[in-house]
Amino acid sequence: MRSRGVAVSVLTNSLAATDVAAVHGAYSRYRTRLLAGGVRLFELRPQVSNLELQMIGSKGASLHTKAFTVDGRLGFIGSFNFDPRSASLNTEMGVLFEQCDLAAKMSKEFDRQTSPDVSYRLILDSGRLCWVGGENESFHRDPEAGQGRRLLAWAIGLLPIESQL
């Protein structure tokens, strides 16, 4: 999409804000390529302190919303992950709609969620990942994530399990 001039912005969990180490470990391999390709990438700051990191997800049921808008009129909201596992194995759902007012509200919420007080914006700083927050706030490693959390996500990222996530 970027090669065709389409603006693409993505908001996801930071390592400090996720409870699923496996998913973050797999996703983290793509950050540099996404940024180099012109994708605007944001990661949510942690909102809950002492979030317990799990290998495969929360102990309780949870719903991680997936949402996007296209051209200010089309949109999707749901739990569907747009991958083979979600299409054939998981019980996933979503609503695809064409409604300008709802798409506008979603865009406004995206802008709120990607503000510096809620999320970090990732950039490449001399080819190196950099998380940028508020005034003079920048990091060259996953912010607010302890060494153990970073090590676990890195190790999981090395495993050939992406098709199972």
CATH code, domain carrying 153: 3.30.870
When mean pLDDT is compared across 44-48, 62-66, 77-81, 111-115, the lowest value belongs to 62-66
Please determine, for residue 69, whether its predicted confidence score (pLDDT) is greater than 50: yes
What's the mean pLDDT in 83-107?
A: 86
Bin 57: left if φ > 0, else alpha if -120 < ψ < 50, else beta: left
CA separation (Å) from 104 to 28, 42, 74, 76, 141? 29, 19, 10, 13, 34
- The owner of tokens 């998913």 is 23
- The owner of tokens 């060494």 is 147
Position 6 confidence tier, pLDDT thresholds 50, 70, 90: very high
Global pTM reads 0.84
Please determine, for residue 145, whether its predicted confidence score (pLDDT) is greater than 80: yes
Residues 6+ apart with CB under 8 A from 106: 67, 69, 75, 77
What's the mean pLDDT in 89-107?
A: 91
Q: Give the pLDDT score at 159.
A: 82
pLDDT one-digit tens code per residue, 119-132:
999 999 999 999 99
When mean pLDDT is compared across 24-28, 63-67, 69-73, the lowest value belongs to 63-67
Q: Give the pLDDT score at 63.
A: 41
User: Residue 75: helix, strand or coil by DSSP?
Assistant: strand
Q: Give the pLDDT score at 163.
A: 67
| Beta-sheet pairing, 9-13 with 40-44 | parallel
DSSP element (H, E) containing 112 = helix 100-113
Q: Note down the domain range covering 26.
A: 2-164
Q: Give the pLDDT score at 164.
A: 65
Q: Which of 24, 19, 14 is nearest to 139 (CA)?
A: 14
- The owner of tokens 């979030």 is 51
How many other C-beta atoms are found inside a 10 Å radius of the C-beta of residue 45?
18
The tally of domains found in the chain comes to 1
Please determine, for residue 60, whether its predicted confidence score (pLDDT) is greater than 50: no
